[in-house]
Structure 1
Amino acid sequence: MTIHDVSTYVKARSWLIKFKKILTVLEYRKDKAQFIPYGKNKFLKFTYHLVFSDEFEYTGHIISLIYIYPIIIHLWPVARELNVLALIIVNYYIMFLYALQSALKIIILKRKYFHQHWNTVEFLILIIGIVDILCVYFVKLRPDNIILIQFTVIIGYLRLIRFVPLIKIIIPLLINIADVQIKKRLSLMYSITKGYVKSQEDAKFLVKQISGRGSIYQKLYEILDTNKRDAIRELGLIEHEGRDVVIALKTRQAIQTVITKSLKHLSFLWSRGIIDKHEGVEMNKVLLSKIKMLDSFPMAIPPPTPDNYLHKIVWLENKEVLIKFFKERAKLAYFDYGDVICREGEMPQGIYLIISGMAILHSPPPSFGISHTLQADRTSQTMFTEYCTCGDVIGELSCLLKREIECTAICETILQACFISLEDLYEGFDVFWPFLEYKIWLKLALMIAHQYCESALLNEDLTFEKCVSLNAAYVETLSSCNEMTINYAIMKLVIVVYGSVIDTNTEVSYLAPCILPKTCEQVQGTSDLSKLLVVQGSQPVKGTVNTSPHMTNREYNWKRKEESEAGLHYRKR
């Protein structure tokens, strides 16, 4: 089953989208700013405030509603015969009010009066009404003219179009109803697609376990990978189409995850007797009520403004001093569909934080900083494809290394991004040295580890925040002349996420990304720069190679690199 089979089950781009677009076109809008009168003409100023007031609009609707009774009398032959004079007077009065309304609007709007569809409809009603009055007048002069009488009767029935402007009242309500239904479908489609992506990942893992032939596994792997890639693209398009819906959905899922974990922890503490029965029941009721409250969670949350998007960069840790520093230097960049953000082989200009839109990345297999001689066994012509959406960052690794970009990023939709230049980024490294650069490496190391060593990290729950606050994992840096001793008594896992190392005892090489075996006790870097992600055991670790700043204090002293002590952190310049 492909994502296209899934998407046909509940496709958000249905008739509701088209219906909403039609309603949006028909919606009446009042743009006051374009028609502000200048000068000292009090009549124009009074007319301007009158025309653009809500009362003026409501009065027009009330006139149409009042006319319901006269039109019923007009359409009822017996009642019409008894109230001919009264109907004529009411018709004169109604048309006078229509003429006054249109005249006041024309005085203010002038030529732009006909740019609004509803003004054209009202003017057409006025013209038909004037023709109706003239026909009634000529029938009085020539009561024996059958053709004129028939034409007057037909024009009289056209008085029903005077109720058409009342549709303006209903349109905003219909737009809201359509919008709610569209958001429900988008939310459902996003959840289904996200579940489909997870199913493809799980299927790849299972196929690897049960497949007996390499060729069959490779074929199935390619099918599953293609399906997953298409689904991720669909997720990006849904997120671009309904950012507010996706933000609300992700927030709701995050809250639900926290409450579910709390229920599990409560059950554990209750079963061990740490919490007594009465307290456990009360806490369970509170948590269940929180889950029930999620049913009334808003379907849409407005996306943050571009100024607030720097808070989304995890390695800035939501620290105001860092955000203020980059906010003063960051720029907004706009790209159209098909524009190239960066090209493979070019030197990086900076990093791009996607605010809205989606980009597709095409790249050969990543080198992970491994030299060509060691990479000979990895030669592959397969092109990798990845989709980046709102909140993703492009160009971090290339900027860290000051090396050529290994991928080409092309816009799949209109894209807005926050751009931080290479010079500003390295200025930040110097001002907030050494931990800022280390935090970026930690974020990239976790991303690579989760992407390539997912099965080994299933029970670790490694997040950037957890690694920073609890020191659950950290990054070690090795150059070709550095060695590192591995103590598995205090280390759970050691993952080579960048570069390559060699076991000093067995002289076996390990190329990123890979997990070092438990038999490996000491490694030496064989690349210019190697990065190892060390997952902590139960005890805090002190690295044998003093190459990584392990931050345990939440408060930092901001220093420039030249002002601090040398020799703590190796950086590839």
Structure 2
Amino acid sequence: MIEEKMKRLLKFPSSIQPPTAEELLKNLPWLHNAEKQIEFIKYRAKLLYFDYGDVVVHQGEQPRGIHLIVSGMVRLHGVKPSLGTSSKGLDIDDDEDEDDYLPDKAKPTFTDYRSSGAIIGELNCLTQQKMEVTVTCETVAQTCYISIDDLFEAFDVFSEFPSLEYKIWLASGIRIAVGIMMEDITYQDWTYSSVCAYLVRSYIVDIEKNNKFDLYDGTVEDTFLVYGSAEDLQSQKQYDAPCFISKTTHQVLGLANINKVLVVNADAKHLEECNSGPCLKHIQPHTSGTYFGDTFSGSQMELYNMDPSPNKLTAQASMMFRTLTPRLEGGRLQAATSIANVKKIY
């Protein structure tokens, strides 16, 4: 058995060709199988090149767009996102500064690393909230950059349900709900695959400020507050995202300017109709007319999550980009390339 494993190890390739920018775009959770949206984004996205030590995003700055990491590794350091609330449940969109309520020493900091397939700034562009982390290149890196102006233009163009904005919210909401479930003792015996299969039947509900919303009416299995704050009208208990909303709560009131609730449908029929999982590890063939079939959980899509089937990735294809003149932006040297200027060499 040991000799067989050694032989297999010797035959294993020394390196694996990373996916191209175009392939990564096609496999984004909120662009999967949406050809028109993919073409729209592809012709507006740019390839940016960063050297070791370059800062891609500064903490505290306004979001300028979404970075999809094509190659390399980056380090994230900062505070965890507040998801629309402060420590006291106050709406951070109000005129008051959040720092008045939550001192720096009380803010939990973290350091994490992201590589090919990860998305940076997705939720910040949706809410126009300041960046909570500083992103620094640990290696030479390449990112696919979608500016916030182009993203909002895409929202206007693709506004028909399920709109592009809705699909991004749903993908972000499922990613947040996965973290809630994995940390909750109720689901401690669930595997990651079980969580993904469970959340496949979920959808996003938007609760406007000071508006009421009914929960657990017999068609709802679980609900998660993924952004904003809400109050149980019966017990006066306040929920701050991210959190699980108790099944004893039957009606909530939106407290923040943006309140997003992820609802898991209890009807098994919806689960049978949905042909795709909430993450790219569980991709199945799509069929037309599915209600939740275009979205997956996690926006952080690592290389091993890619679908290796021939109709998804072309293993032998390489990409040649027409590099534009390097430009200086934000104090760092970058070279931008349009994703649309791509030629495949076979």
Q: TM-score, normalised by structure 2?
A: 0.65
Q: Shift of residue 371 of structure 1?
A: 4.4
Count of aligned pairs between the two proteins: 251
Correspondence for 1:446 among 174, 180, 187: 174
Query: Where does residue 491 of structure 1 map in the other structure?
Result: 220
1:462, 1:472 within 8 Å by CA — same for their partners in 2?
no
Q: What one-letter code is carried by the residue in structure 2 that aligns with 1:342?
A: V
**Aligned-CA RMSD value:** 2.9
Q: Deviations over 1:181-233 (max 9, x none)?
A: 9x949xxxxxxxxxxxxxxxxxxxxxxxxxxxxxxxxxxxxxxxxxxxxxxxx
User: Which secondary structure does the structure 1 equivalent of 2:113 belong to?
Assistant: strand
Correspondence for 2:262 among 533, 540, 548: 533
For 2:75 and 2:245, the matched residues in 1 are separated by: 32
From the superposition, tell whether residues 359 and 184 of structure 1 become closer, same or farther in structure 2 (CA, over 3 Å).
farther
For 1:331 and 1:345, the matched residues in 2 are separated by: 23
Q: What one-letter code is carried by the residue in structure 1 that aligns with 2:202?
A: A
Q: What one-letter code is carried by the residue in structure 1 that aligns with 2:149?
A: E
2:68, 2:145 within 8 Å by CA — same for their partners in 1?
yes
Q: What one-letter code is carried by the residue in structure 2 that aligns with 1:323?
A: I
The answer to whether residue 128 in structure 2 is matched with residue 402 in structure 1 is yes
Structure with a larger share of its residues in helix: 1
For 1:365 and 1:302, the matched residues in 2 are separated by: 33
For 1:540 and 1:493, the matched residues in 2 are separated by: 16
Q: Shift of residue 448 of structure 1?
A: 1.0
Q: Shift of residue 396 of structure 1?
A: 0.3
The answer to whether residue 70 in structure 2 is matched with residue 355 in structure 1 is yes
Q: Shift of residue 481 of structure 1?
A: 2.2
2:180, 2:244 within 8 Å by CA — same for their partners in 1?
no
Q: Shift of residue 538 of structure 1?
A: 2.6
Worse-matched range after superposition: 299-308 or 382-391:
299-308
The answer to whether residue 190 in structure 2 is matched with residue 461 in structure 1 is no
Correspondence for 2:51 among 327, 331, 336: 336
Q: Shift of residue 421 of structure 1?
A: 0.6
Query: Where does residue 59 of structure 1 map in the other structure?
Result: none
User: Which secondary structure does the structure 2 equivalent of 1:315 belong to?
Assistant: coil
Correspondence for 1:307 among 8, 13, 22: 22
2:65, 2:145 within 8 Å by CA — same for their partners in 1?
yes
For 1:359 and 1:304, the matched residues in 2 are separated by: 17
2:18, 2:71 within 8 Å by CA — same for their partners in 1?
no
- For structure 1, which runs of at least 5 residues remain unmatched after alignment? 1-180, 186-295, 542-551, 556-573
Query: Where does residue 112 of structure 2 map in the other structure?
Result: 386
The answer to whether residue 145 in structure 2 is matched with residue 412 in structure 1 is no
2:178, 2:196 within 8 Å by CA — same for their partners in 1?
no
Query: Where does residue 553 of structure 1 map in the other structure?
Result: 289
The answer to whether residue 56 in structure 2 is matched with residue 327 in structure 1 is no
Tell me which stretches of 4 or more aligned residues in structure 1 moved more than 4 Å.
Answer: 296-301, 375-379
Query: Where does residue 473 of structure 1 map in the other structure?
Result: 202
Query: Where does residue 511 of structure 1 map in the other structure?
Result: 240
User: Which secondary structure does the structure 2 equivalent of 1:497 belong to?
Assistant: strand
From the superposition, tell whether residues 354 and 502 of structure 1 become closer, same or farther in structure 2 (CA, over 3 Å).
same
Q: Shift of residue 394 of structure 1?
A: 0.3
Question: In the TM superposition, what are the counterparts of 1:42-121 in structure 2 within 5 Å?
Answer: none
From the superposition, tell whether residues 372 and 496 of structure 1 become closer, same or farther in structure 2 (CA, over 3 Å).
same
Query: Where does residue 368 of structure 1 map in the other structure?
Result: 83
Q: Deviations over 1:108-166 (max 9, x none)?
A: xxxxxxxxxxxxxxxxxxxxxxxxxxxxxxxxxxxxxxxxxxxxxxxxxxxxxxxxxxx
From the superposition, tell whether residues 304 and 365 of structure 1 become closer, same or farther in structure 2 (CA, over 3 Å).
closer
Q: Deviations over 1:315-350 (max 9, x none)?
A: 101322111111111100011111111111111111
For 1:315 and 1:309, the matched residues in 2 are separated by: 12
For 1:484 and 1:322, the matched residues in 2 are separated by: 32
Query: Where does residue 148 of structure 2 map in the other structure?
Result: 422
Structure with a larger share of its residues in strand: 2
Which entry has the higher C-alpha Rg, 1 or 2?
1
Q: Shift of residue 539 of structure 1?
A: 5.1
From the superposition, tell whether residues 364 and 301 of structure 1 become closer, same or farther in structure 2 (CA, over 3 Å).
closer
Q: TM-score, normalised by structure 1?
A: 0.41
For 1:342 and 1:538, the matched residues in 2 are separated by: 42
Q: Shift of residue 314 of structure 1?
A: 1.2
2:86, 2:102 within 8 Å by CA — same for their partners in 1?
no
For 2:195 and 2:164, the matched residues in 1 are separated by: 19
- For structure 2, which runs of at least 5 residues remain unmatched after alignment? 1-5, 91-100, 271-287, 292-346
Q: Shift of residue 300 of structure 1?
A: 5.4
From the superposition, tell whether residues 377 and 499 of structure 1 become closer, same or farther in structure 2 (CA, over 3 Å).
same
Q: Deviations over 1:49-87 (max 9, x none)?
A: xxxxxxxxxxxxxxxxxxxxxxxxxxxxxxxxxxxxxxx
User: Which secondary structure does the structure 2 equivalent of 1:332 belong to?
Assistant: strand
Q: Shift of residue 303 of structure 1?
A: 2.4
1:477, 1:531 within 8 Å by CA — same for their partners in 2?
yes
From the superposition, tell whether residues 184 and 380 of structure 1 become closer, same or farther in structure 2 (CA, over 3 Å).
farther
Q: Shift of residue 479 of structure 1?
A: 1.8
Q: What one-letter code is carried by the residue in structure 2 that aligns with 1:406?
A: E
Aligned-residue identity in percent: 38
User: Which secondary structure does the structure 1 equivalent of 2:76 belong to?
Assistant: strand
From the superposition, tell whether residues 474 and 297 of structure 1 become closer, same or farther in structure 2 (CA, over 3 Å).
farther
User: Which secondary structure does the structure 2 equivalent of 1:437 belong to?
Assistant: helix
1:312, 1:391 within 8 Å by CA — same for their partners in 2?
no
Q: Shift of residue 484 of structure 1?
A: 0.9
For 1:362 and 1:396, the matched residues in 2 are separated by: 17
1:348, 1:404 within 8 Å by CA — same for their partners in 2?
yes
Q: Shift of residue 535 of structure 1?
A: 1.2
